[in-house]
Chains A and B, each alone.
Chain A
Amino acid sequence: MNIEPKPVSAPKLARVGRWLVSGPPLAYLLMFFAIPSLIMVLASLRTPGEFGGLAPLVEDGKLDLNFDSYARFFSESIYAEIFVKSVWYALATTLLCLALAYPLAALITRSPRRYRDLLLLLVILPFWSNFLIRVYAWMIILGPNAALARTVNAVFAWFGHTEPVPLLFSSFAVLVCLVYVHLPFMVLPLYANLEKHDPALLEAAQDLGANAWQRFWRITFPLSLPGVYAGAALVFIPALGIFAIPDILGGPENSLIGNVIKQQFLETRDWPFGSVLSIVLTVAALLLAGLAAWVARHNLGTPSSVREARA
């Protein structure tokens, strides 16, 4: 006797339904992510045009593809230096965001339920105004005639340093704004993780003799690592490629890799070299994210149980 359950709908119809659901996002990704990426890879292998843009792909009957732009990247150390500097900025941004977001997320988690939504709303409130407007606002806050700069310089003068220190157009301004812009991306995944922790675990740890610091370091922190990694990825990767903040708030020496890429495409109009820089940036971000994931799995002791418990 056949007791196999009959499929609820005809298999053909089900397949059509599946494609209707997953088709549009796939098509979108193909059109606006996969194909442009391939175009960029192709562009990186071409020769720059005489007046910017790209030289013809086929010249005198032969295909003009070469690794000249890659060779340039690896032979001129200035680009590697800017790359390393960008990584440092992104890393510093990530660590500062983590240091600020962790207590904030913990505070929200422990607030009475009726205040929690309000506090979360405050975290995402900046998203309601335009990104560039918020960056320009920092120009005013950090400007030489603003209260902040005057106070800082007055304090410096007190200690005998009379030469005024500019806050704007400095690495300080860039870092402050990088942290400000990216903070919500660290707070939200951390909150999502911390909110799921079973309070009984902390009670058990306390009952077993752990003081407040030991409870945090042995229980809360290891269990929050998935949230830390998610937040770090959401902050580090965009911070690595950012160009608007150094453009507006930084000095000439604060140019990051994003600025150089923008320059190559819009000012120097060397599209192949710009493409090379973009590809190197993407590969570097992927490698660093992969490295972080590997470290997370092997060295920092996040066993499958944590992933399961947090899933």
Chain B
Amino acid sequence: MALLDIQNVTRRFGDFTAVDNVSIGIDAGEFFTLLGPSGCGKTTLLRMIAGFDIPDAGRIVLNGEDLAGRPPERRPMRMVFQSYALFPHMTVEGNVAFPLQMTKTPAAEIGAKVAAALEDVRLQGFAKRYPHELSGGQRQRVALGRALVTHPTVLLLDEPLAALDAKLREEMQIELINLQKEVGITFVYVTHDQTEALTLSHRIAVMNKGRVEQVDEPSKIYGFPRTRFVADFIGHCNLFSGQVAASSDGTVTIDVPSLGPVRVATGSKLPPGRPATITLRPEKIQIEASAPADTPDNHYHGKVADLLYMGDVTVYRVATPGGMQIEALLANSQSGRAKFFEVGDAVEMSWSVDAGHFIEE
């Protein structure tokens, strides 16, 4: 049984349903992420887990105990706030000691526990500083140390890295992964940043308009999105919608208007005429100057309409004669050349039946 069981939880604000009948089971020791665009209900759900908000329907169960009626101060969970919410009138030490003082920890033990927590978050030597004397990353670590010092059952993190700059965010991501491994505490992490979610999590719940669209491991979320929304929200994706034209031994052909037939492997058998969508990641497309020698499963030609040079890779937007734009990505790994193609170049694109992913609709 899951450690934290969210059962059919709904929360409405007037006419607006922020969280709509959500059920998720989170296991002990898991790094679990709630991912979605702003307004999708992920923060509301987190606040209900913490106890700052009460579900209109459904239950939140921790270790078999229904948490309804337990105020936040009496839940064995800690939250790391987006703004860190460090107490400005207390030193780093005072901030980290605060939850220990609240649980009436003997004064003799507080010192050692604070020191251990500060060591966990690599802040030894900063004990006497005040929050305003610290950098953003250091404040973040104080917030983590303060939340972890009492060894809560679950740690809730509300976009904790959103206020940091890109470089520091990457560093903190690695630290978070290591910290979670070290302390072994269940993390429930809220973010709208899909890269962050893919990097950090054991499992991700993708949320949209108050509902959970998919709960899966990062590689499954990325490689096998269950819905159009998930495919579109996570990473870049070409979406080909059309009708099933033919289907035979594990492969379906879909007639995509403005492109043509696209073949993709799938387990399910489908009657012709059914609407369907294929998702195709830009990096799965081969893009070459001349037609490939062998006959690929899918093959189209087009002209480079646009390109985004990103250093390590270049994203090409290729316009097909039918009027569709396809995104393809090429690593700039060949020495001596910065880019392979320029805007206006004619290119050949091909991909195998396994490259795309079929979404039933």
| Residues of A bordering B, CB below 8 Å | 198, 200-201, 203-211, 214, 218-219, 222-223, 301-306, 308-309
Contacts and interface: CB of A to CB of B under 8 A. Distances in A.
A201 B71 CA distance: 16
Given A301-B89, A309-B89, A211 B73 contact: yes
A184 to B, nearest CB: 27
Contact of A200 (B74, B78, B81, B146): B81
Given A198-B83, A208-B146, A306 B99 contact: no
A203 to B, nearest CB: 6
Nearest to A222: B89
A309 B99 contact: no
Contacts of A214: 102
A211 B132 CA distance: 26
B132 A205 contact: no
Interface string B126-161: 000011110000000000001100100000000000
Interface string B50-93: 10100000000000000000011110011101010111110000
Contact of A208 (B102, B131, B132): B102
Contact of B131 (A200, A210, A305): A305
B98 interface: yes
B103 interface: yes
A181 to B, nearest CB: 32
Interface string B308-327: 00000000000000000000
A206 B72 contact: yes
B85 A200 contact: yes
A223 B77 CA distance: 26
Nearest to B156: A207
Contacts of B52: 203, 206-207
Main secondary structure of the interface of A (DSSP, over half): helix
A306 B85 contact: no
Interface in B102-132: 102-103, 130-132
B73 A203 contact: no
B88 A308 contact: yes
Given A306-B88, A309-B132, 11 more contacts: A203-B72, A203-B81, A204-B79, A207-B52, A208-B147, A211-B73, A219-B87, A301-B89, A303-B130, A305-B132, A308-B132
A305 B130 contact: yes
Contacts of A211: 73
| 9 A-B pairs with the lowest CB-CB distances in the bound complex, closest first | A209-B102, A204-B85, A309-B88, A305-B130, A208-B99, A200-B85, A306-B89, A207-B79, A305-B88
B85 to A, nearest CB: 4
Interface residues of B, number: 27
A223 B89 CA distance: 7
A218 B130 CA distance: 16
Nearest to A302: B89
A304 B132 CA distance: 9
B102 A210 contact: yes
Contacts of B85: 198, 200-201, 203-204
Given A210-B102, A304-B130, A308-B132, A204 B88 contact: no
Nearest to B103: A209
A207 B72 contact: yes
Contacts of B150: 209
B155 to A, nearest CB: 11
Nearest to A199: B85
A306 B99 CA distance: 20
B103 A303 contact: no
A278 B81 CA distance: 54
18 contacts: A198-B83, A200-B81, A200-B85, A201-B87, A203-B85, A205-B98, A206-B73, A207-B72, A208-B146, A209-B74, A210-B73, A210-B98, A210-B102, A214-B102, A219-B87, A223-B88, A309-B89, A309-B132
A243 B308 CA distance: 79
A199 to B, nearest CB: 9
Contacts of A304: 130
Contacts of B99: 208-209
A205 B88 CA distance: 12
Nearest to B130: A305
A206 B53 CA distance: 13
Contacts of A198: 83, 85
Contacts of B102: 208-210, 214
Nearest to A214: B102
B106 to A, nearest CB: 16
A244 B324 CA distance: 87
B24 to A, nearest CB: 21
Contacts of A209: 73-74, 99, 102-103, 150
Nearest to B52: A203
A214 B102 CA distance: 8
A214 B89 CA distance: 15
Contacts of B77: 207
Contact of B78 (A207, A210, A305, A309): A207
A211 B71 CA distance: 9
A201 B83 CA distance: 9
A202 to B, nearest CB: 9
Residue among B50, B74, B81 with max Cβ neighbours from chain A (10 Å): B81
Nearest to A212: B73
Interface string B263-283: 000000000000000000000
A306 to B, nearest CB: 5
Given A210-B73, A222-B89, A200 B130 contact: no
B347 to A, nearest CB: 49
Contacts of B78: 207-208
